[in-house]
Amino acid sequence: MTIHKEGRTLLLVLAALLTVLNIVAFQYLSAPWTWIVLAVSVVFFLLILQFFRSPYRTLTQNTKQVVAPADGKVVVIEEVVETEYFNAPRRQVSIFMSPVNVHINRTPIEGMVKYFKYHAGKYLVAWHPKSSTENERTTLVIRTESGAEILLRQIAGALAKRIRWYVSEGQLVSQGQEFGFIKFGSRVDVFLPLDAKVLVNIGDKTKGGVTVLAELKS
């Protein structure tokens, strides 16, 4: 396991600040307050550290399968009308990322990026019904070699106020490739063709790049 690039600078700055804080505490405070400050500092640093972990994984590779773009829990499986790109019914599968999940986002299928757009917005809690249309978010559409199109939406939440992305329109992406990062968790929506066979259920835990969400007909 390594530390993701999105967290390296933050962790270095945080370590420096906490070190200074503890030096001051040991100079001006007496026990047990010095040890309390030290313990809180260590726990806080470890909590932030785990947000940015990047574990090694054997990724799923199958052109007919759609893999999970994020670690988390499946919270939505339903047919909806997607209005930004398709303007047509699609099967939506949503994954909620808690603060303890790995925060890397991965491409669920191999193909070409046909559409990408960033939307500034609010920071409603990720499970709010309007979060997918009103929160800060990105929309990414990947077209496979067979012509199937999969839409992904990174959605910021009440705590996650920094979305990163590493793709652009026209770019070829491989299955399981990192396409973005949501700092401190939130939600990723996947919009599938209606004839795709969904293989997960509400409440299932997912691993980004590993868990198979669905199988495509074409």
pLDDT digits (tens, 9 = 90+) for 122-174: 555 555 555 555 678 899 999 999 999 999 999 886 555 578 899 999 999 99
Where residue 122 sits, what CATH number does that domain have? 2.70.70.10
Domain containing 20: what range?
Answer: 2-54
pLDDT tens sequence across 37-48 = 999 999 999 988
Question: Catalytic positions, please?
Answer: 186
- 88 shares a domain with 8: no
Assign 206 to helix, strand or coil: strand
Question: Do 45 and 76 fall into the same domain?
Answer: no
pLDDT for residue 84 is more than 80: yes
Q: Is 36 in the same domain as 114?
A: no
- Residue 12 predicted with pLDDT over 90: yes
Tokens representing 62 are 């199958």
Same structural domain for residues 28 and 74? Answer: no
Q: If pLDDT is split at 50, 70 and 90, which confidence band does 50 have?
A: confident
Residue that is last in its domain, among 11, 26, 54: 54
What is the C-alpha separation between 80 and 87, in angstroms, rounded? 10
Closest of 127, 113, 208, 120 to residue 162, by C-alpha = 120
pTM here is 0.85
Instruction: Supply the mean pLDDT for the chain.
Output: 88
In a domain, residue 59? The reply is: no
Helix or strand holding residue 131 (H, E): helix 131-134
Contact 76, 93 (CB under 8 A): yes
